[in-house]
């Protein structure tokens, strides 16, 4: 929904929000979806800015979970209100981290 791609970040701050950063910890830290990744504070700020400008209301309405499933993309089936809620949490997380000048560690379990 953020980038139009299932696994690539596209080298964009929106892609970095979930799958970006530099791998840390090596293979022994692999959680099953790859090792944890880290974003530097400047990257965190770029993600926060991109999320602030993201048209979530429009994209949540346009999201087609059935088409995503057909394309082999893992997605949870959520209605637009849930997508808005989860996006708001993601945006708040990055806003807070950026305001504090923090780096971010990402991993998927």
- Domain count within the chain: 1
- In terms of Cβ atoms closer than 10 Å to its own Cβ (0-12, 13-18, 19+), residue 46 is buried
Half-sphere exposure of residue 36: CA atoms within 13 angstroms, side-chain side: 9
Name the least confident of 40-54, 61-75, 95-109: 61-75
For 37, the domain range is 13-106
65 part of a folded domain: yes
Compute the distance between CA of residue 34 and CA of residue 19 in angstroms, rounded to an integer: 10
**pLDDT above 70 (res 76):** no
48 part of a folded domain: yes
pTM (2 decimals)? 0.87
Compute the distance between CA of residue 6 and CA of residue 15 in angstroms, rounded to an integer: 10
Helices and strands in the chain, H and E counts = 5, 3
Name the least confident of 12-21, 28-37, 98-107: 28-37
7 part of a folded domain: no
5 part of a folded domain: no
33 part of a folded domain: yes
């Amino acid at each position: 929904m953020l980038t139009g791609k299932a696994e690539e970040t596209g080298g964009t701050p929106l892609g970095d929000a979930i799958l970006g950063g530099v791998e840390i910890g090596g293979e022994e830290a692999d959680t099953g979806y790859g090792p944890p990744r880290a974003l530097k504070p400047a990257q965190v700020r770029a993600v926060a800015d991109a999320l602030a400008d993201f048209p979530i209301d429009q994209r949540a309405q346009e999201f087609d979970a059935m088409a995503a499933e057909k394309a082999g993309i893992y997605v949870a089936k959520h209605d637009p209100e849930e997508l808005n809620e989860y996006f708001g949490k993601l945006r708040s997380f990055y806003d807070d981290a950026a305001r504090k000048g923090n780096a971010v560690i990402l991993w998927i379990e």
